[in-house]
Amino acid sequence: MSVSVDGPVTRSSVLDALEAAYPMLRGTIRDHDTKERRPFLRFFVCGEDVSLASPEDPLPEEIASGREPFMVIGAIAGG
Amino acid sequence: MKPSPAERELSREEVARYSRHLLLPEVGPGGQKALKAASVLIVGGGGLGSPAAMYLAAAGVGTLGIADPDVVELTNLQRQLLHKTADIGRPKTDSARETIGGINPHVNVQRMKLRLDSGNALEILSPYDVIIDGSDNFPTRYLLNDACVILGKPNVYGSVFRFEGQVSVFNPTVGGPCYRCLYPAPPPPGLVQSCAEGGVLGVLPGIIGSLQALEAIKLIIGQGDTLTGKLLLFDALGTKFRELTLNRNPDCPVCGHNPTIRTLIDYEDFCGVRALGDQEGGGEEITVEELKERLDRGEDIFILDVREPQEYGICNLGGHLIPPGELPARIAELDRSREIVVYCKTGIRSARAIETLRQKGFTKLRNLKGGINAWADRIDPTMARY
Ligand SMILES: [Zn+2]
């Protein structure tokens, strides 16, 4: 899915826009109160794990332009 | 357990059987003998374990262990090719051995009809060279990860859900990350659905389990690049693969510099599985028999169905449908003065929904124990069970 972000494209602003568009996602990707990433999922940008980077760091141009996805990868357990 | 050098020699029949391998310089007689000498434990004889076991058997892996506590069910046959229609009700380990023996009688199959736990895992894993995680639940995945790290064994990880698959090789002994480096904690029970609740396209575990067999073979013959330090994602709807780089967490509690987990722990507790069960038992459950009786008496009970619309289409109790993802936004549809019985397929998602509703101030809530499957089993045998 794509979202539009006003101002700098960061992890925070992308997830804020996503949660505004899909309120049911609030509290599932980031903790309701602390806004910390929940431990059973990780964030990837251009194949690299950026889960531990600052949420306010600008995301690369590929993401801002929509050419590459900002990926939220969650644990699944089916077998 | 290790064969003697003479036993590792390939017979005439084996040379012919494996000739397409022997023609590959990357495998050749050396690689084929390494496969014959190798032992692989497959945890879970289900959707992932089926192709993994069948390809590893065909490839000539000398010893295959299959650990699975379950018997074959009709709903397994859409994807678990180790088992046939006539096997319904039999232990999966038995039908797995028959299928594997039919593919390659040279394979020594070790059946373990059991659930791995903290008490038996280290002993069961230790004779094997490579472990394949084809399990279907978070407690077993964390257990296998920790046991493999403690024993220094490569863990070929695969998991599937709906149309999505993940594959990796967790091998901290060669510097790679482990499962806990990737996911330090599991999702709370009920937040992420299992395949039994959310479904899975049957061919998907066929692809992911085959990739697990591939990784195991490369580990054994020491050729190519494995998925150590990488997470391979497969999107079945888009037919797209994507490879992500994984980093080792130096503070990982099991493979980090100062590990705090040095022995196996209680994984059901760690994954919150037991806590949810206790909560369900906390006086708020209702059995299908009690619900039937009270409905027959004409009591005023509001029935809330927290499944997905396609599940409602398979069978329902005529309740008000609100899929779990929409519940927070649709709470206004519910009357908090009425008694609400919440149900899903098995009782897990409904327990989670009750938690959400309680946080919003609802008090008259009952969880239908065993979900609509219990209703189909015990009240209405004509109802479809899925
Ligand atoms: Zn680790």
Confirm whether A52 is domain-assigned. Answer: yes
User: Among this protein's residues, is B315 annotated catalytic?
Assistant: no
Percent of chain B whose predicted confidence (pLDDT) is above 90: 84
Name the residue range of residue B307's domain: 281-378
Record: contact B164-A75, CB cut-off 8 A: no
Q: What ranges in B60-116 are assigned the alpha helix state H?
A: 92-103
* Whether the predicted pLDDT of B278 surpasses 50: no
* A77 vs B: CB within 8 A: yes
Spell out which residues of chain A touch residue B205, defining contact as CB-CB under 8 Å. 78-79
The alpha-carbon gap from A61 to the nearest alpha carbon of chain B, in Å, equals 19
Confirm whether A5 is domain-assigned. Answer: no
* Whether the predicted pLDDT of B6 surpasses 70: no
Say how many Å lie between the CA of residue B182 and the centre of ligand 1.
7
Q: How many CB atoms lie within 10 A of CB B199?
A: 18
Identified catalytic residue from B178, B181, B195, B255: B195
Angle value at C-alpha A70, between B47 and B178, nearest 5 degrees: 50
Do B71 and B189 lie in one domain? The reply is yes
- How many angstroms separate the Cα of B169 from the Cα of each of A23, B53, B115, B274? 35, 17, 22, 29
Do B134 and B237 lie in one domain? The reply is yes
Instruction: Locate B22 and state its tokens.
Output: 């022997």
Q: What is the strand order of the sheet B63-67 is part of?
A: B108-112, B63-67, B39-43, B130-133, B155-161, B164-170, B230-235, B240-245
Q: Which of B141, B134, B153, B85 is nearest to B270 (CA)?
A: B141
Record: contact A75-B192, CB cut-off 8 A: yes
Q: What is the mean pLDDT of chain B?
A: 93
Q: What is the strand order of the sheet A41-45 is part of?
A: A48-49, A41-45, A70-74
Confirm whether A39 is domain-assigned. Answer: yes
B296: CB partners within 8 A, 6+ apart: none
Would you call B215 helix, strand, or coil by DSSP? helix
Q: What is the mean pLDDT of residues B134-157?
A: 97
Say how many Å lie between the CA of residue B338 and the centre of ligand 1.
48
Would you call B339 helix, strand, or coil by DSSP? coil
| Residue B39, strand partner residues | B63
Give exposure, B106-122, as e/b (b: 16+ Cβ within 10 Å). Answer: bbebbbbeebbebeebe
Nearest to A79 among B134, B244, B329 (CB): B134
Task: Please report the DSSP string for B127-161 in residue order.
Answer: T-SEEEE--SSHHHHHHHHHHHHHHT--EEEEEEE
Q: What is the mean pLDDT of residues B79-103?
A: 98
Confidence grade of residue B3 (pLDDT, cut at 50, 70, 90): low
Q: What is the CATH number of the domain that holds B348?
A: 3.40.250.10
Distance of CA B330 to the CA centre of its chain: 32
Do B155 and B96 lie in one domain? The reply is yes
Do B319 and B203 lie in one domain? The reply is no
Instruction: Locate B123 and state its tokens.
Output: 């002993």
Spell out which residues of chain B touch residue A19, defining contact as CB-CB under 8 Å. none
* Whether the predicted pLDDT of B195 surpasses 90: no
Spell out which residues of chain B touch residue A71, defining contact as CB-CB under 8 Å. 242, 244
The alpha-carbon gap from A5 to the nearest alpha carbon of chain B, in Å, equals 23
| Residue A69, strand partner residues | none
User: Among this protein's residues, is B195 annotated catalytic?
Assistant: yes
Record: contact A78-B191, CB cut-off 8 A: no
Percent of chain B whose predicted confidence (pLDDT) is above 70: 95
Record: contact A79-B329, CB cut-off 8 A: no
Record: contact B245-A47, CB cut-off 8 A: yes
Q: What is the DSSP pairing of strand B302-305 with strand B340-343?
A: parallel
Do B72 and B149 lie in one domain? The reply is yes
Would you call B305 helix, strand, or coil by DSSP? strand
Q: What is the CATH number of the domain that holds B251?
A: 3.40.50.720
The three state secondary structure string of chain A is CCCCCCCCCEHHHHHHHHHHHCHHHCCCCECCCCCCECCCEEEEECCEECCCCCCCCECCHHHHCCCCCEEEEECCCEC
* B80 vs A: CB within 8 A: no
Cα B76 to Cα B85: distance, rounded to the nearest angstrom: 10
| Residue B108, strand partner residues | B63
Confirm whether B33 is domain-assigned. Answer: no
**Which of B38-52, B262-276, B285-299 has the least mean pLDDT?**
B262-276
Q: What is the mean pLDDT of residues B219-228?
A: 98
* B242 vs A: CB within 8 A: yes
Domain count, chain B: 2
Record: contact A78-B47, CB cut-off 8 A: yes
Spell out which residues of chain B touch residue A37, defining contact as CB-CB under 8 Å. none
Record: contact B160-A79, CB cut-off 8 A: yes
Confirm whether B16 is domain-assigned. Answer: no
Angle value at C-alpha B50, between B48 and B51, nearest 5 degrees: 80
pLDDT in tens, B241-258: 999 999 999 999 999 999
Cα B40 to Cα B19: distance, rounded to the nearest angstrom: 22
Residues within 8 A of A (CB atoms), B 173-192 only: 182-187, 191-192
Q: Are B99 and B62 in contact (CB under 8 A)?
A: no
Interface test with chain A among B43, B182, B195, B267, by most A beta carbons within 10 Å: B182
Domain boundary among B241, B275, B309: B275
Confidence grade of residue B7 (pLDDT, cut at 50, 70, 90): low
pLDDT in tens, B53-76: 999 999 999 999 999 999 999 999
Check residue B14 and give its pLDDT: 98
Cα B22 to Cα B16: distance, rounded to the nearest angstrom: 9
Confirm whether B24 is domain-assigned. Answer: no
More confident position, B189 or B211: B211
Please give the backbone phi and psi of residue B368, each rounded to the nearest 5 degrees, phi first: -75, 110
Confirm whether A4 is domain-assigned. Answer: no
Domain boundary among B275, B300, B330: B275
Interface test with chain A among B50, B145, B161, by most A beta carbons within 10 Å: B161
Q: Are B145 and B180 in contact (CB under 8 A)?
A: yes
* Whether the predicted pLDDT of B4 surpasses 70: no
Domain boundary among B275, B292, B318: B275
* B329 vs A: CB within 8 A: yes
Do B255 and B323 lie in one domain? The reply is no
Do B193 and B295 lie in one domain? The reply is no
Burial of B88 (0-12, 13-18, 19+ CB in 10 A): middle
* A47 vs B: CB within 8 A: yes
Name the residue range of residue A18's domain: 11-74
Chain pair A-B, CB pairs under 8 angstroms: 86
Would you call B204 helix, strand, or coil by DSSP? helix
Q: What is the pLDDT along chain A (79 residues), one digit of tens a residue?
A: 889 998 899 999 999 999 999 988 888 999 988 899 999 999 999 999 999 999 999 999 999 999 999 999 999 999 9
Q: What is the pTM of this model?
A: 0.84
Confirm whether B21 is domain-assigned. Answer: no
